[in-house]
Structure 1
Amino acid sequence: MRVTLLGTGDTTGTPTVGCDCETCREARDRDVERTRFSVHVENERTGETLLIDASPDFRYQFLRDEVALPDAAVITHIHFDHLDGLGNVFRILRSLEVYAADETDPATGESVAETVADDYHYLDAVTVHPTTPLETVRICGLDVTLVPVDHPPLSCYGLTVEDPETGAKLALTGDTSYAIPDRSRRQLADPDLLLADAIVPASLCASHRAGGRHENADGVPRTFGTKHMTREGALELAAELEATETRLVHLAHFYPAEEAFEEPLAVDGEVYEL
């Protein structure tokens, strides 16, 4: 299973358009970037490929990293930076199987699957498969399980991708606070590679209008505001899940420049063989 990190940034990416902060300047100097979130998974045994979230930067990411177009996709939630890349299917793919949760979201009155089907009803290539969280489905020869996480006010999901022959396991937290339900934590546990939402360091919580929450025993916030984990929260989660390797993703350009490219913060284009 080959995993390519197509997009490791948050809603605006790094460098951010129109921004001349030290972190964005440093990214330009290093010639690295964090486009909007997306992950490409290739089943090397079958030659099939799975896309996890459809970034608005879809076209650029696929051209830049020269990966194969997807046979299927999983959409974790309906925020534009994870969904709107589906429009790139038009006149590029003849078919794309799209998997998304079938649970009704109280905030929208419909499931993620229903929203995807409604928003992209004009794309004949897209076939949406409503998928029950915590029930494993076989996609591209891999075992995929959606796991509920905490990203208010919308329903949001992380997931695991496991190779049924080799036992290799990829886990993604999805966009989430530290308050991931226990059942989801059990499903996410023991991955060979964990991709964990870590939007900013905990030190920036004081500047958020909602502050920080889910403090650890030392008073360090593990959630920034209400929706995303801090770097410290993500690393604590990785330790709890006993991840063999961890990469922090969905990163904002608000990281101080001297911290923004330290390990284990990911940048676009990283490739992992599991």
Structure 2
Amino acid sequence: MKVHFLGTAAAEGFPNVFCRCQTCRDARKAKGRNIRTRSSVVIDDQWRVDYPPDAYYQALRDDVDMSRVNHLLLTHTHYDHLCAGDLLSRIEGFAHGVEQPLNIYGNDLALQQCRTAFSEESGIQQQFNMQRLIPFEAFWIGQTKITPLLADHDPRETCFLFFIEKDGTHLLYGNDSGWFPPATWDWLEGRRVDMAILDCTVGRNGNPKSRNHMSVETVIEVKKRFQAWHEENTKTKIIATHFSHNCGLLYQDLVDILAPYQIEVAYDGLVKHI
């Protein structure tokens, strides 16, 4: 699998364009990997996790052919993960030569948000196929098996993580979430994880089992747990992402903190293969 990180920031972006904190000022000055758009990835150039308000810019910046992306997995409905109205740019009339419908997978709220956004345009529902996801019930995209797992994030909706199995490799897409709920840990226990993409929104807070979002300490604790139940998980690639400027840490700060634990720090445009 090829995983292309299009965005690696929390909801307000990094830096926050309205913010005058020292971290945001330092990020604007340093630029490079310190400039982060809202979190999303494209996998194998054909399916995407989440559609943030920065999706248009991300595609131009990284030369991503969005006409090839025909599957969209949605973790939840927060505005930095789903900007449903922007998907109208894909329909015939706005775009030309996009032959396949977009298959959208998500919870009830996410699908309803999409239907509401699309309802104002007549005759376009057939250009989108929507599939409601049930926690722990796997579905298939071609030869790829995907299992939606429960996240610890917003108690007002069912927020998902995704366990993706393709060609003998296993990827866990693990943000937005704090320490995983017991049912998710029960499902994961004993499984090999080749790559885990984990939320690290809050930086250092001293809590190895932080709620709603993970900290540096939580990411390290997740890695330890993976390694405890499967010897192959000593080789697991752990990649931290979804950073807030409120963590007070720039890219190199995060690298210095996490490198001793063999945990990689994502940045916008990073491409990894497993």
TM-score by length of 1: 0.79
Contact 1:148 1:181 in 2 (8 A): no
CA distance in 2 between counterparts of 1:120 and 1:79 reads 18
CA distance in 1 between counterparts of 2:111 and 2:88 reads 17
Within 5 A, what are the aligned runs for 1:232-247? 232-242=217-227, 243=233, 244-247=236-239
SS at match of 1:237: helix
2:169 equivalent in structure 1 = 168
Alignment CA distance shift 1:184-1:130 (3 Å): farther
Give the Å deviation of 1:89.
4.1
Give the Å deviation of 1:187.
3.4
CA distance in 1 between counterparts of 2:25 and 2:72 reads 33
Contact 2:88 2:118 in 1 (8 A): no
TM-score by length of 2: 0.79
CA distance in 2 between counterparts of 1:185 and 1:267 reads 31
Segments of 5+ residues of structure 2 without an aligned counterpart are: 228-232, 259-263
Give the Å deviation of 1:132.
2.2
1:113 equivalent in structure 2 = 111
Give the Å deviation of 1:19.
2.8
Give the Å deviation of 1:37.
1.0
Within 5 A, what are the aligned runs for 1:27-46? 27-28=27-28, 29-32=30-33, 33-42=35-44
Aligned residues: CA RMSD: 2.4
SS at match of 1:116: helix
Q: Deviations over 1:213-263 (max 9, x none)?
A: xxxxxxx42355x42121211221122123511111111012234634544
User: More displaced, 58-67 or 133-142?
Assistant: 133-142
Q: Deviations over 1:59-109 (max 9, x none)?
A: 0111111123111100110111111156244224562110113xxxxxxxx
SS at match of 1:254: helix
CA distance in 2 between counterparts of 1:270 and 1:85 reads 25
Could you list the structure 1 runs, at least 4 aligned residues long, displaced by more than 6 angstroms after superposition: none
Structure having the higher helix fraction is 2
Q: Paired residue for 1:254, among 246, 263, 267?
A: 246
CA distance in 2 between counterparts of 1:27 and 1:55 reads 21
Alignment CA distance shift 1:120-1:145 (3 Å): farther
CA distance in 1 between counterparts of 2:204 and 2:23 reads 17
Residue 83 in structure 1 maps to residue 82 in structure 2? yes
1:191 equivalent in structure 2 = 193
Residue 144 in structure 1 maps to residue 129 in structure 2? no
1:158 equivalent in structure 2 = 161
SS at match of 1:80: coil
Residue 63 in structure 1 maps to residue 60 in structure 2? yes
CA distance in 2 between counterparts of 1:20 and 1:260 reads 21
Q: Deviations over 1:154-208 (max 9, x none)?
A: 3201001111xx21121112311214233455338432111111111233xxxxx
Q: Which amino acid aligns with 2:114?
A: V
1:106 equivalent in structure 2 = none
Instruction: Count residues in correspondence.
Output: 242
2:71 equivalent in structure 1 = 72
CA distance in 1 between counterparts of 2:85 and 2:145 reads 22
1:23 equivalent in structure 2 = 23
